[in-house]
Amino acid sequence: MFHYSLNFRKETEPGRVSLPFCFEANTTLPVEKLRQEWITALTNPLDSWLWPKQYSLPRVTEPPIREGGEFSLVYQMPDPANLEAGTTEYTYDYSIIRWEPDTLLFQYQSELEDGKIHPFSGGGTVTITEGDANLSHIKWAGAYHHNGNRQGAEDVFANFFTLFFTSMAKNIRQHHGLPQ
């Protein structure tokens, strides 16, 4: 059986909005195989079954993946008001804050100084660990923030995250040969 959860919410304080998220899934894949798939997604995304390539393509700027390195994401962002209207491409850069390949801990934050400035500050952490009964567990959690009111951008972000992570769950199910 395959289980996953997705939590995305909006927290508003005076003058500041936070958008925390958390995706978690238990898989029947050996932990080393799922860790290798994550590395493939960041270094050669077209060969990765895990990453939902229809929504974004990651690429480590200068392989190998390393703490202090960078990666970019080319997003295909749909318009939440008209999902059939197609997508617009945006590229943003991220810094790799922490990288522990042996335990697979990958932490990143949006670049706000160099490259194309991300519309939100923040980032996330991905961990892949061994779960009960030799299952592997992937957790991707983080938060993005901005000052002021940008309801349109927040709506696009919420829609994108939902599509991206439900597609990642679908990719995991398909790779396991589980029913859709």
Domain boundaries, the chain: 3-176
The pLDDT tens digits along the chain (180 residues) read 678 999 999 898 888 889 999 999 988 888 999 999 999 999 999 999 999 999 999 999 888 999 999 999 999 876 666 767 878 888 889 999 999 999 999 999 997 665 556 778 899 999 999 987 778 999 999 999 988 767 777 777 888 889 999 999 999 988 875 555
Residue of 117, 60, 53 lying closest to 87 (CA atoms)? 53
**In whole angstroms, what is the distance from residue 144 CA to residue 19 CA?**
5
Residue of 172, 180, 165, 169 lying closest to 55 (CA atoms)? 165
**pTM (predicted TM-score):** 0.90
DSSP state of 140: E
Instruction: Count how many Cα atoms sit within 13 Å of the Cα of residue 57 in the half-sphere of its side chain.
Output: 10
Q: Which pLDDT does position 153 carry in this prediction?
A: 74
Q: Which pLDDT does position 83 carry in this prediction?
A: 66
Cα distance between the two ends of the chain: 12
Q: Which pLDDT does position 176 carry in this prediction?
A: 73
Q: Which pLDDT does position 59 carry in this prediction?
A: 93
The CATH number assigned to the domain with range 3-176 reads: 3.30.530.20
Under a CB-based contact definition with an 8 Å cutoff, are residues 23 and 140 in contact?
yes
